[in-house]
Amino acid sequence: METILQLKNVGYRVQENQILNGISLVVNSQEYLTITGPSGSGKSTLLRIIASLLTASEGEILFQGKNIANLDPIQYRRQVSYCFQQPMLFGKTVADNLDFPFQIRQTTPDIAKQKAALKVVGLPETYLTKRITELSGGEKQRVAMIRNIMYVPDVLLLDEVTVGLDEENKRIVNELIEHFHKDHHVTILSITHDAAELNQASRLLTITKGRLEEAK
């Protein structure tokens, strides 16, 4: 199997505070990796470092064999896409959010594609013009997620994207992830506390106080 991401002894420090420590990890292409751990253990920080939104204080990260410090961060983030824990939508309407991936690639928004994506996550296509202030928490979460997959990335970094959703919404979001994993061969790194999701994990890692361990 081909390695897509490799972390070599990654550490992250804010002043005296060591948040992540000696993290080494090999992620194979098309793998589905689940990460869990107590609150404040450094899970989000780790994904943000992998997403190149933060720079590790120690160690290095290789993407397809290349040190990400030498890659163009903008292009890299389009390939390794991070979904926020508690995302905030921007602009005024749902369309403002779904247009963004097209705008940054200097193309006109593909409305058919946007409507199809809404439908996949169980939202009516009329939602395109809906104001973001009128969405429920679960709807926001789903809209936020389809921004990341308007253009299919190589790796999806999911930061507790099903937290706060009811069973029905969880099922929809997990099916969506599964679809991109199976049919589009997207590598998934997903943080979760959800018991069912942890049970189904094919490879599970835990972070405790900034250290990573392989759990299964």
Question: Which chain residues interact with Mg ion by CB under 5 A?
Answer: 44, 85
- Given the complex with ligand ATP, which of 37 and 87 has the nearer CB atom? 37
Distances (CA, A) of 190 to 109, 148, 159, 203: 28, 14, 6, 11
Residue 42 φ then ψ, to 5°: 110, 15
Q: Least distance in Å: CB of 200 to another protein?
A: 26
Rule CB under 8 A: which of 130-189 touch another protein? 144, 147-148
Note whether 44 binds ligand ATP by CB under 6 A.
yes
Note whether 192 binds another protein by CB under 8 A.
no
Note whether 39 binds ligand ATP by CB under 6 A.
yes
Note whether 74 binds another protein by CB under 8 A.
yes
| 163 vs 144: CA distance, rounded Å | 14
Note whether 107 binds another protein by CB under 8 A.
no
Kindly report the number of other CB atoms within 10 A of residue 159's CB atom: 22
Closest CA to 174 of 204, 198, 197: 197
Per partner kind, with CB cut-offs from 5 to 8 A, the member of another protein, Mg ion, ligand ATP, none near residue 57 is none
Binds another protein by CB under 8 A, chosen from 28, 60, 100, 171 = 100
Note whether 85 binds ligand ATP by CB under 6 A.
yes
**Residue with token string 């994990």:** 201
Q: Least distance in Å: CB of 203 to Mg ion?
A: 20
- Given the complex with ligand ATP, which of 3 and 18 has the nearer CB atom? 18
Please write down the HEC assignment for all residues of 73-138: HHHHHHHEEEECCCCCCCCCEHHHHHHHHHHCCCCCCCHHHHHHHHHHCCCCHHHHHCEHHHCCHH
Binding site for ligand ATP (CB under 6 A): 14, 17, 19, 37, 39-45, 85
